[in-house]
Amino acid sequence: MTEDNNVEVPRLGIEPEAFRLAAANMVDYVIKYYCDVDKRQTFSDVKPGFMRALLPESPPDRPESWQEVFSDIERIVMDGMTHWQSPGFFSYYPSSASYPSMLADMLCSGVPCIGFSWASSPSCTELETVMMDWLGKAIGLPECFIHGGHGPGGGVIQGTASEATLVALIAARSKTIRRELSRDPNQRTHDIVGRMVAYTSQCSHSSVERAGLLSLVEVRRLPVKDDGALEGGVLKEAVLEDRKAGRIPMFVCVTIGTTSCCTFDDLEGIGKTCETEDIWCHVDAAYAGAALVCPEFRFICKGIERATSFNFNPHKWLMVQFDCSAMWVRDSTDLINSAEVNPLYLRHNTESATIDYRHWQIPLGRRFRSLKLWFVLRMVGVEGLRSHIRRGVREAKHLEELVRCDERFEVLFPVILGLVCIKLKRPGSSLEDENDLNERLYDKIHEDRRIFIVPATLNGVYFIRICTGSTHCSIEQVNKCWQVITEMAGEL
């Protein structure tokens, strides 16, 4: 209870000169990490609970030296990392890394502000507004999504695509409640919500289903054919059926680049239905949206001008470090109206003319993430980003060729961007046996540890997905990856 053992610490924890030296160590460490990342095992062998044994039970009372902490990074942390930047990483979708993005993160962390309102840090809000316009133009979005346009549309940086989906669904819920109450003010809100129905395809990301659970809106996962794409006609039919049953269709999540198989829903057809049926059309292009910087890939988003909101993750494939999920809406008042509360301590006298991004998102506080977009867009340039995307696509096309030349294997979906989905064929045998074969192949590849991939399923078919385009991927690495797969297949 006394202050006897008081340890006086510098204002910022350590002295500035100590920070300068430590930061130089850290920069060297990071550079070396990328130079040697190919020597690290992509997926770790550590067992659950490994780290507790390496750490003391409680924090120290008195300060430890930088050297003690610094040396523990390698000793304690690095062996248990999944190395997303490793050339052996073909799993999930990539997570970007670039030096310009790291420099921006250093500034964001170094000069911290919490930009929940315009007043809490004007630059944080204003740079985000302009950067979302820059990025929107770079991917060819229609003007209705641009802040600097003439409408109420604009962009915001969310943490993740899952949050963007939830924000859109909650805004749609809120808009639908208002509309229904204006038709009949005697309805109870919970009855209205209980009749709502949202749609997405069975291939959409699990976070769409989760957004439904969180917001209490039922999500119907509509079937797709073996091409993995949701058709406008299938949606239309479901909507009419639900309307007939007295339900309220109010939201669709269209996926452009599904997680399991990188297929593209029929945005044009779905968008038309949404327009005629007054349904919120949210586009989740978390991975594939980055490819829109290249004009030759914009066909995947045909119909985008019909969308109500659009989202993609620059942190996946556009050289921006996590987290930076870019979301645009056609009408920002839809977001603001969905859950605005505005106490005195958060108000400021410039409110009417400004954006308070806290109304556009789930959390209150927010980091200065637009710095990452600013640095990357300027230091790489739009043409630089295009060649980054094209490199990833070339790698995938190369892998596709390799697979097609091996008659034991089959490529399951058109390879448009960086994902290649394959399986071993066993002609004449049952689907179950073929699945079993491919599961065994996957297990062997996973245990081998030279590459890290994940499997997926569609309509009962089990397959292996291989995603190119990560930081250190290359044609040579794709060859090595294929070498591992064929070697393991040969052992079966």
Helix or strand or coil: residue 145?
helix
Enter the tokens of residue 132. 């979302």
Q: How far is the CB of 407 from a copy of itself (least distance, A)?
A: 27
The dihedral sign for the CA sequence 330, 290, 446, 55 = negative
Query: Contact with a copy of itself (CB under 8 A): which of 71, 143, 187, 216?
Result: 216
Residue 135: which of 256, 272, 285 has the closest Cα? 285
Distance CA 161, CA 95 (A): 13
Q: Is 34 in the site for a copy of itself (CB under 8 A)?
A: yes
CB 219 within 8 A of CB 200: yes
Q: How far is the CB of 236 from a copy of itself (least distance, A)?
A: 26
Query: Contact with a copy of itself (CB under 8 A): which of 364, 431, 475, 492?
Result: 364
Strands laid side by side in the 154-158 sheet: 154-158, 325-329, 309-312, 280-284, 248-255, 196-201, 218-222
Enter the tokens of residue 393. 């696509």
- Whole-angstrom distance between the N-terminal and C-terminal Cα of the chain? 67
Q: Is 482 in the site for a copy of itself (CB under 8 A)?
A: no
Query: Contact with a copy of itself (CB under 8 A): which of 38, 103, 142, 449?
Result: 103
CB 283 within 8 A of CB 306: no
Q: How far is the CB of 190 from a copy of itself (least distance, A)?
A: 3
Q: Which of residues 135-154 bind a copy of itself (CB under 8 A)?
A: 135, 137-138, 148
Closest to a copy of itself by CB, 46 vs 492, is: 46
Residue written as token pair 């599961």: 439
Q: Is 61 in the site for a copy of itself (CB under 8 A)?
A: yes
Query: Contact with a copy of itself (CB under 8 A): which of 383, 405, 407, 428?
Result: 383
Number of residues that bind a copy of itself (CB under 8 A): 165
Contact characters 264-303, a copy of itself, x per CB under 8 A: -------------------------------xx-------
Q: How far is the CB of 428 from a copy of itself (least distance, A)?
A: 26
Query: Contact with a copy of itself (CB under 8 A): which of 151, 194, 223, 233?
Result: 194
Query: Contact with a copy of itself (CB under 8 A): which of 251, 375, 413, 482?
Result: 375
Distance CA 259, CA 139 (A): 20
Q: Is 245 in the site for a copy of itself (CB under 8 A)?
A: no
Closest to a copy of itself by CB, 173 vs 330, is: 173
Q: Which of residues 318-347 bind a copy of itself (CB under 8 A)?
A: 319, 321-323, 338-339, 341-346
Q: Is 97 in the site for a copy of itself (CB under 8 A)?
A: yes
Query: Contact with a copy of itself (CB under 8 A): which of 68, 278, 476, 487?
Result: 68
Query: Contact with a copy of itself (CB under 8 A): which of 185, 188, 245, 490?
Result: 188
Return the amino acid letter for 105: D
Distance CA 268, CA 274 (A): 10
Strands laid side by side in the 409-411 sheet: 409-411, 419-424, 461-467, 454-458
CB 330 within 8 A of CB 422: no
Helix or strand or coil: residue 48?
coil
Q: How far is the CB of 487 from a copy of itself (least distance, A)?
A: 22
CB 212 within 8 A of CB 198: yes
- Per CB under 8 A, the segment of 133-141, 234-242, 399-407, 478-486 that binds a copy of itself is 133-141
Distance CA 113, CA 119 (A): 11
Residue written as token pair 């400004």: 354
Q: Is 36 in the site for a copy of itself (CB under 8 A)?
A: no
Closest to a copy of itself by CB, 117 vs 273, is: 117
Residue 396: its H or E element: helix 370-404
Q: Is 75 in the site for a copy of itself (CB under 8 A)?
A: no
Residue 392: which of 312, 314, 468 has the closest Cα? 468
Contact characters 405-444, a copy of itself, x per CB under 8 A: ----------------------------------------
Closest to a copy of itself by CB, 273 vs 321, is: 321
Beta strands in 190-305 (DSSP E): 196-201, 218-222, 248-255, 280-284
Closest to a copy of itself by CB, 152 vs 384, is: 384
Query: Contact with a copy of itself (CB under 8 A): which of 41, 302, 384, 444?
Result: 384
